[in-house]
Amino acid sequence: METLFQNKQAFLRKKPKNLFLVTIMLIIILLVILVISLKIEVYDHYLMRGYVSCSDDCKIIVAVPTNIDIQKIKYNNKYIKPNILSKTIEIDEENVSSYYLYNFANIDGLVDKEIVLFNFCYNKQRLLKKFINSIF
């Protein structure tokens, strides 16, 4: 039992040799994460379905809430810049809310009378700022 106690005391007195190297590596990793979070820009996302109507050109009709300013659209795992033909404000009296009725054009791969799923990207911010805003 005494040898076990002596081994424990010897282990506690032993100083780590690589503590300086580990702290330097940890500081470097934290700095890299900070720089990456300052460079990367992210969006908020809003998923919505739209109706495709094709007469001469294919158009998509989508109702989006008024607090969203569309900057990018993700459709079929590709980001496309929105080509807005018209934007009208509508009021839903039953739910007491307002929304924009967008009419988009020039999106490839659409079929007439189809319901498609869109991912609207808005509110572009840096990753660190978005993280701080989500905490506070």
Say yes or no: 72 and 24 in one domain: no
- What are the tokens at 25? 């590596």
Structural domain count, the chain: 2
In a domain, 92, yes or no: yes
| Cα–Cα distance for residue pair 16/19, rounded to 1 Å | 6
Task: Please say whether the beta carbons of 92 and 98 come within 8 A.
Answer: yes
pTM of the model: 0.64
More confident residue, 59 or 134: 134
* Average pLDDT across the chain, whole number: 83
Structure-token pair, residue 23: 């702290």
pLDDT at residue 30 greater than cutoff 80: yes
Structural domain boundaries, residue 31: 2-38
Query: What's residue 97's pLDDT?
Result: 81
| Cα 55 to Cα 98: distance, rounded to the nearest angstrom | 28
DSSP label of 68: -
Residues 58 and 116 occupy one common structural domain = yes
* Structure-model confidence comparison of residues 64 and 30, the more confident one: 30
Of 68, 64, 69, 62, nearest in space to 107 by CA: 62
pLDDT band at 2 (very low <50, low <70, confident <90, very high): low
**Is the residue at 108 inside a domain?**
yes
Strand 78-80 to strand 72-75: parallel, antiparallel, or no bridges (unpaired)? antiparallel
The tokens for 82 are 């929105």
- Please check whether residue 21 lies inside any domain of the structure: yes
Confidence of residue 26 (pLDDT cuts 50, 70, 90): very high
